[in-house]
Structure 1
Amino acid sequence: MARTRATDFDMKRRAILSSAARVFAEQGMDKASMSQIADRADVSKSLLYHYYASKDALVFGIIHGHLTELDAALEAADDQGSEAPVRLRALIHTVLEAYRDADSEHKVQLNGASALKPEQQADIHTLERRIVERFARVLGEINPDLATGSRKLLKPMTMSLFGMLNWVYLWFREDGPVSRRDYADAATVLFLRGVGGVTSITNSSSSL
């Protein structure tokens, strides 16, 4: 008879991934050990290996879980019936809220994905593309010119927005002068007011 899964399997798995993410963020992927992760998770090494056979499996689990949750949150927040600027604000808020208490997972995503196996990287890239394309569609509605002409700027502008969001963890503090919601609003306004004029840039730098 097949062994049944424990009722708390998913809870233990998430706790292990959370502990592993903190160890990886503090020690780096190379220096972190399975022993350190087991200690941080307060489990035996044998139990840790029961859930995850290697550090690579842990890294993949952290990144895949982080992006899957973000993708699901964005899908729930993206009201197709709302105007594009309203949708953009909701998406930006959702990303920054998803990053709350997830600095370690975010660091692992940014620094650890390149070391994964090709098939694992492919799974991660599929999730990343789906998230990026959701933002690109909204920005394309706000400024359709971004996707036309000889200088197709939709992807560069979309990635510029992610550049603003993905590095917030380096400077943002929950007890700082700006709240997470305030920064999300400011980033939305900054991008909305700037993205409309992007296509006025010519191939010559003399106009800048």
Structure 2
Amino acid sequence: MARTIAKDHDQKRAQILGSAAKVFAEEGFDRATMTQLARECGISKANIYHYYDSKDAILYDILETYLRGLRDRICGIDLSGLDAEGRLRRVVHEILFAYQGSDHEHRVQVNGVEKLPPAQQKVLRGFQREMVRFLGGIIRDIAPEVFAEDRDKLRAATMSVFGMLNWYYMWNTGAGDAARRDYARLVADLTLYGVRGI
């Protein structure tokens, strides 16, 4: 007879992923142990193995859940009725707020993807590429005359914007809504006035 799924299965799984992200971010994936994860989760190691058969499986679930959710939120933004500048401002703001509260997952992503098998890396990098294409299309529309024939320049500009946003948590841990709004405005201004001068 198949084992039934506990009513709090999803809640417990989310707890494990959140705790594991913290341990992986602070200790590094390679140094982290299942014992540390269990201690951080406040449950037994055996209980973790009920949900995940390995540390690698936990890492993949952290990154797949995080990046899929990020992709869905960012690429699903309603931009109807906005001009090119408005679209950029809206998306930059949304990216920065999507990162809020996910510093551990974000840090794990930086070095974690490469620890996984190629097939899993492909899925995760697919989510990342979709977000890059989405933002890249918005940046292209700001200065089509600059980027129409130069895909490398467009990619460099797009990755530069992501770079400004991706590392915000490093110097602004725990930043509130007002600080994020201010920084989103700064990044949008730098991008808008910068790409037109390239």
CA RMSD of aligned residues (A): 1.8
Residues 146 and 152 of structure 1 are in contact (CA less than 8 Å); yes or no, is this contact kept in structure 2? Answer: no
Residues 147 and 154 of structure 1 are in contact (CA less than 8 Å); yes or no, is this contact kept in structure 2? Answer: yes
Aligned to 2:134: 134
Aligned to 2:34: 34
Aligned to 2:83: 83
Q: 1:150 to 1:157 in 2, by over 3 A?
A: closer
Q: CA deviation at 1:43?
A: 1.4
- Where in structure 2 are there 5+ consecutive unaligned residues? none
Aligned to 2:92: 92
Q: CA deviation at 1:47?
A: 1.5
Q: CA deviation at 1:195?
A: 0.9
Higher relative contact order (CA 8 A, sep 6+): 2
**1:115 is matched by which residue type in structure 2?**
K
Residues 34 and 55 of structure 2 are in contact (CA less than 8 Å); yes or no, is this contact kept in structure 1? Answer: yes
Q: Spell out the pairing of 1:141-152 with structure 2 (5 A cutoff).
A: 141-149=141-149, 152=152
Aligned to 1:44: 44
Q: 1:145 to 1:55 in 2, by over 3 A?
A: farther
Residues 140 and 148 of structure 2 are in contact (CA less than 8 Å); yes or no, is this contact kept in structure 1? Answer: no
Superposed CA deviations along residues 62-111 of structure 1, whole A, max 9, x for unmatched, are 11111111112113424143212111111111111121121110010001
Aligned to 1:54: 54
**1:26 is matched by which residue type in structure 2?**
E
Q: CA deviation at 1:31?
A: 0.8
Distance across 2 between alignment mates of 1:161 and 1:147: 15
TM-score scaled by structure 2? 0.92
Distance across 2 between alignment mates of 1:155 and 1:114: 21
Distance across 2 between alignment mates of 1:175 and 1:168: 9
Aligned to 2:162: 162
Residues 92 and 188 of structure 2 are in contact (CA less than 8 Å); yes or no, is this contact kept in structure 1? Answer: yes
Residues 71 and 127 of structure 1 are in contact (CA less than 8 Å); yes or no, is this contact kept in structure 2? Answer: yes
Residues 174 and 180 of structure 1 are in contact (CA less than 8 Å); yes or no, is this contact kept in structure 2? Answer: no
Distance across 2 between alignment mates of 1:191 and 1:103: 24
Superposed CA deviations along residues 16-72 of structure 1, whole A, max 9, x for unmatched, are 100000001111111100110011111111111121111111111111111111112
Deviation larger for 40-49 or 143-152 = 143-152
Q: Spell out the pairing of 1:99-110 with structure 2 (5 A cutoff).
A: 99-110=99-110
Aligned length in residues: 197
Distance across 2 between alignment mates of 1:154 and 1:144: 10
Distance across 2 between alignment mates of 1:151 and 1:125: 19
Q: 1:26 to 1:174 in 2, by over 3 A?
A: closer
Q: Which runs of 4+ in 1 moved over 6 A?
A: none
- Where in structure 1 are there 5+ consecutive unaligned residues? 199-208
Residues 25 and 108 of structure 1 are in contact (CA less than 8 Å); yes or no, is this contact kept in structure 2? Answer: yes
- Any idea what SS the aligned residue of 1:153 has? helix
